[in-house]
Amino acid sequence: MKTEELKSILPELLPEVKRIAIEAGEKIMVIFKRDFDVEYKEDKSPVTAADLAANAYIIKELKKLAGNFPILTEEEATLPFDERAKWETYWLVDPLDGTKEFVNKRDGFTVNIALIHQHKSVLGVIYAPVFDVSYYACLGQGAYKESQEMQEEKINVRALPKVPTLAVSRSHAKGDLLAFLEGVGEHEIIRTGSSLKMCYVAEGIADIYPRLWLTSEWDTGAAHCIVDEAGGSLVKTDMSPLLYNTKDSLLNPFFFTIGGNDHDWMQYLPKSGDKA
């Protein structure tokens, strides 16, 4: 599908993807409120019935949408690169981002659904089930936040204040990140899980999310479009573009999610901080 043709259907796809993410989140919450078993994948990351239920539902619903695009999800990521390299446009899904948060009965987990076109995110929806909050965007249409208690609100990154706020993970505040934080000097911190850290940059609550630990492409795909449309950027730590489906590995390099500023964040990187 040509880019202009795709852009014309994105506003029609976006509300449907919002609905799918919210309904998947409802299925997750049913399991969250009861006891559940935790299994571990080969990479030792946890997986639960909630991951699998949300995954199955999202795949079923995305297949009904216009475009008939292929789907790549965290729970079904074994497709060889020589096959997915043929994809110009595809859905990129993390049915339950922040499974560790979920397992520990914390609130920082999300449903992430992105549409990738020519290696870039052109539509993104993130739903945080505990908060009942959706963040969403599509190419050229701005970024928004909405819940049942709050009407749709356009979101934007903020200018850099004198004391910056950094969004950091609850699970990975160590090593290179601690050195980075020390280099920044005086700052404030917001700790949470999943893609919410990138959403906080997009809505102007945080100024940067430095990710100096491994992630996968489905962790960033949805947030990438939201941050871009809010006026920020999601880039590798050398400030070059972060692209999707360009190699065999689905791991991201280390990256920055940056708000409305052109501050030289690279200067605070430890020598190992620009490696994936």
Q: What is the pTM of this model?
A: 0.94
Q: What is the DSSP letter of 242?
A: P
CB 157: neighbour CB atoms within 10 A?
23
Token reading at 68? 């008939």
Instruction: Determine the Cα–Cα distance for residues 94 and 152; give it in Å rounded to an integer.
Output: 24
Residue 275: inside a domain, yes or no?
Answer: no
Range of the domain at 49: 3-154
Token reading at 13? 């796809």
Tell me, yes or no, whether 169 and 150 share the same domain.
no
Burial (CB count within 10 angstroms: exposed 0-12, middle 13-18, buried 19+), residue 209: buried
Virtual CA dihedral for 135, 226, 255, 253, nearest 10 degrees? 90
Tell me, yes or no, whether 116 and 174 share the same domain.
no
Residue-wise pLDDT tens digits, 138-181: 999 999 999 988 899 999 999 999 999 999 988 766 789 999 99
Question: How big is the CA angle at 265 (ends 263 and 266), to the nearest 5 degrees?
Answer: 130
Is pLDDT above 90 for 39?
Answer: no
Residue 20: inside a domain, yes or no?
Answer: yes
- CATH at 239: 3.40.190.80
Tell me, yes or no, whether 78 and 186 share the same domain.
no
Instruction: Determine the Cα–Cα distance for residues 7 and 10; give it in Å rounded to an integer.
Output: 5
- CATH at 124: 3.30.540.10
Instruction: Determine the Cα–Cα distance for residues 23 and 180; give it in Å rounded to an integer.
Output: 38
pLDDT band for position 273 (50/70/90)?
A: very low
Tell me, yes or no, whether 55 and 178 share the same domain.
no
Residue-wise pLDDT tens digits, 242-269: 999 999 999 999 999 999 999 999 999 9
Residues with Cβ within 8 Å of 185's Cβ and at least 6 positions away in sequence, in order, are none
Residue-wise pLDDT tens digits, 56-80: 999 999 999 999 999 999 887 889 9
Tell me, yes or no, whether 173 and 231 share the same domain.
yes
pLDDT value at position 275? 47
Instruction: Count up the domains in the chain and report the number.
Output: 2
Residue 247: inside a domain, yes or no?
Answer: yes
Residue-level length of the chain: 276
| Domain finish residue from 127, 154, 181 | 154
Nearest to 112 by CA among 198, 9, 12: 198
Residue 273: inside a domain, yes or no?
Answer: no
Whether 253 and 276 have beta carbons less than 8 Å apart is answered as yes
